[in-house]
Structure 1
Amino acid sequence: MPYAIPSTRRWNAPPCSPLWGTTLYTLEEATNCVLAQLYRGFLLPHIPISRRKRERNEEIRNRYAAGENVPELARLYSISEQRIHQILRGKRT
C-alpha cells in the first residue's frame, strides 16, 4: 500500500522495519521507506496552477477527445509531447 502524503504537506515516515530482518518489502514499499527517511520533516512545495493554465489544460483534453493527436497539440500549444501526456493523464490539473 503506497504511503500517502499527509494533508499538512509535510513528508513523514511510513512505518518501516529494519531492512535486514526477516521482513520482505516490495520494491514500492522499500522505495517509500527510503524516500521517507531522506525527506523526513521537509515541507513539500505546493504551487497552485493558474486559471489560465487550468483552462488551457481543459482545452487540450477536449481537443484530444475530439480526435487531435499529441504531436499536433504539442506544436499548437508550444509545449512538449511529454507535457501533453501528463495533462491527459491528469498530472497537475
Structure 2
Amino acid sequence: PVRYSTGPVFEKIWSYLKENVTYGKIITYGELAKICGTSARVVGFAMASNPLPLYIPCHRVVAKNSIGGFTANNGRPMIKWKEYLLKLEGSL
C-alpha cells in the first residue's frame, strides 16, 4: 500500500472522495468541503496535492458552474485530461 500524508484534513477529503464519489459521479468543491468540514479552497489544495490522481479521483471534483481546474503532479494544467476522464465515465 502507498501511504501519503499531508495531514488529517487532506486525508479526510481524499478518503471521502475515494469511497463515495465513484465512477460516473461528480461532486463540487463546495459540496465536498461541506461534507468534510472545511472550505472549498482547502479542497482545491487537497486536489492539487493529490499524489495518485486516478486512485484518488480528483478529476471528479468540479466547480459549481464549470469543470474547474486540474493539475498534474508536475504542476502543468491538464484540463483536457480531466474532460476526457469525465466524458469516459459519462459524467460530462
Q: Is the TM value for this pair above 0.5?
A: no
TM-score for both structures, normalised by structure 2:
0.35
Larger RCO: 1 or 2 (CA < 8 Å, sep 6+): 2
Q: Give the number of the structure whose alpha-carbon radius of gyration is greater.
A: 1
TM-score for both structures, normalised by structure 1:
0.34
Structure with the bigger percentage of strand: 2
